[in-house]
Structure 1
Amino acid sequence: MHAALDLFDVPLDADERDYALVGPGDNRVHENRTERFPYNTICHLGRDFGDNLWRGCSGALIGPRRVLTAAHCLYSLRLRRPPVRVRVAPGRADRDRFPFGTLLAAEGYVPRRFIEARSAAERQANDYGLLVLPRPFPGISRFLPVRVPTDEELKQLKAGAPLTVAGYPADRPVGSLWRHSERLSRFTPQRLLYTVDTCPGHSGSPVWATLAGRPAVVGIHTSGILDERGRSYGCAKGTVLAPPGMLNSGVRVTANVAANLRDPRRVVQGRSPMIRVL
């Protein structure tokens, strides 16, 4: 059943195509150890917008029933609505292998400021989301912790410690997990910028680093750069790699982001920062 539905893994929105392979080469690595930590926590997300076609995104288990992803994976800006269902498959190995099975998400949340954003910068800063599962996946008991990195820790990452992005790009065989690691190029109070190679389907992938000797999620991969014809660099036939110096980027985990992920129903000054969309 899964394989047949996945024949229709196709992009829906333009904002899901702004990812790039940054030159001089495509350095992504196929990860086949999907039953081992931390790769067993990386999730392939299938989103059905009501037409019975699964459209891919990525995510990560950050708790027994919580899946971190990008807001634009859970809410289509073009359609102005969420998918009718989201299928979660941690540690998916290929088209046919789902080592831990699949679950349909019971709830989904995105920041209010993502949907109601008044600028592209505001929307980019709030492009993160959370899925809540009906029950835990058997066999997975360790999860990638979410950590709020300090400026000093991020400076250390710039100096040499790598960032890793792992997810399910649409330009590779259906259901295959790919990762790449590079140094952090720069950061702002709300964004992380890097030359890690990504393509459509990587949206929502965790951006993790080793801090204090342990892997931790410090960001959520969301966006990148397009060529002059509006295509993802290097991700489709007829495109070239992005010139060196161009950067992909993601949402930086801040104290506010971490608080919203811990409790998406929390209320601040009489209003919830997160909106339930599923």
Structure 2
Amino acid sequence: MLTKLKGVEFKLNSKDKSKIINKFEEKSIDNDYLKEESLRPVPSYINKEKGKVMKSEEFSRLNTFKHPGNALWETVCGTDERSQVLNTELYPWGAVCQLIITSDDGRKSLSTGWLNGKGTVITAGHCVYSPTLKKWSKSITVIPGRNGNGKPYGEITSENFSSVKGWIENQDHNYNYGAIILPDQIGDITGYFGFKVYQDSDLIGVKANVSGYPGEKYHTQWFMYDNITTVDERRIYHNIDTTAGQSGSPLWIDTSNNQYYVIGIQSSGGCPNSTIRINEYVYNNLLTWRRRGNKYTI
């Protein structure tokens, strides 16, 4: 096809066209709370308060985040083979966070996120921006390494969020990811995941891991691993069991030198389940958001 740009006409093949569209849709967008002038280098604090213990009847009134439109729930593929993480204070489990999301209309929902830096939590786009309300979440409480009533690292509430143009403006599930910028650098205590771009050939058939907070498991973290089945430009597919509440969970691989690199962000189900793949565009946004979290404190 021929494309004009400021009076210049040139030809694009389909691959180049896809790259330009991806770059446009991948533009980072922040909610109104996060302004550059609000990034103040003051001493961070650690919220060590245990806070209110949620009773079982209160838990039952919380929703797991619903997928809009024709997107599918996270899915158990055959027999549920997930295992409970018993010591969530250890790395990397402490870097996996339960999220309690308060929507703009006041409703509360549960989901999962993961620390990719000192003060940044990555999650699904629909956790920070509701595609049904078409509004940003009002606030999100982040609980790293939650284990039932135990909160080994306390809890932190944020009103600072980011996502991308493809999700905010178009609700395109290929761009269903975002970030929570924390007012505290809790990642210095819990540790945080690395993230990396891999070629197709380095992913297919490789063992990958998912850990998160299923809505039906009462505030406990559950883990499973399996081999990656296939990949495309935007997604990684696997048969790791997940259920509602695990949106935003990390899909990571272990390297031979015991490093943990996230390669995808859990976003939808269907057997195989699928994650948003960390390609070069996603990587650049995750890096930008991590840098913001490394600076932002109150």
TM-score bracket, normalised by the shorter chain, equals: 0.7 to 0.9
Shift of 1:80: 1.1
State the Cα distance separating 1:128 from its structure 2 match: 0.9
SS at match of 2:135: coil
1:100 counterpart residue number: 153
Structure 2 spans left out of the alignment, 5+ residues:
1-51, 292-298
Aligned Cα root-mean-square deviation (Å): 2.1
1:167 equivalent to 2:212? Answer: yes
In 2, Cα distance between equivalents of 1:62 and 1:69: 10
Q: Does 1:115 find its partner at 2:172?
A: no
Counterpart check, 1:201 vs 2:245: yes
1:142 lines up with 2:191 in the alignment: yes
* Amino acid aligned to 2:76: L
State yes or no: 1:222 paired with 2:276. Answer: no
Conserved? CA contact 1:45–1:57, under 8 Å:
yes
Residue 202 of structure 2 is matched in structure 1 by: 153
TM-score, scaled to structure 2: 0.74
1:260 aligns to what?
Answer: 285
In the alignment, what sits opposite 2:82? 28
* Distance 1:254-1:32 versus aligned 2 partners, 3 A rule: same
1:74 counterpart = 2:128: yes
Q: Do the aligned partners of residues 153 and 42 (structure 1) sit closer, same or farther apart at CA in structure 2, a change above 3 Å counting?
A: same
Partner of 2:67: 14
For 2:158 and 2:235, the matched residues in 1 are separated by 27
- Identify if the C-alpha distance between structure 1 residues 29 and 88 changes in structure 2 by more than 3 Å, giving closer, same or farther: same
Report how many aligned residue pairs link the two structures.
235
Shift of 1:73: 1.1
Q: TM-score w.r.t. structure 1 length?
A: 0.79
Q: Which amino acid aligns with 2:214?
A: P
Give how far 1:115 is off: 2.1
Deviation at 1:66, TM superposition (A): 0.6
Q: What is residue 19 of structure 2 aligned with on the other side?
A: none
Indicate conservation of the 8 Å contact 2:65/2:110, yes or no: no
Is the contact made by 1:69 and 1:220 (CA closer than 8 Å) also made in structure 2? yes
Aligned residues of 1:45 and 1:87 also touching (Cα < 8 A): yes
Unaligned runs of 5+ in 1: 226-245, 267-278
Corresponding residue of 1:183: 227
Asked if the contact 2:101–2:141 (Cα under 8 Å) also holds between the matched residues in 1, the reply is yes
1:150-200 CA-to-partner distances (Å, cap 9, x unmatched) read 223113xx1xx311110000121x210001101000000110000000000
CA distance in 2, matches of 1:261, 1:224: 23
Structure 1 or 2: larger helix share? 2
The answer for the alignment partner of 2:54 in structure 1 is 3
Identity, in percent, stands at 27
One-letter amino acid matched to 1:88 = V
Alpha carbons of structure 1 residues 13 and 263: separation in structure 2 relative to 1, 3 Å: same
In structure 2, the residue corresponding to 1:256 is in which secondary structure?
A: helix
Cα distance in 1 for partners of 2:184, 2:64 equals: 28
Equivalent of 2:91 in 37, 41, 45: 37
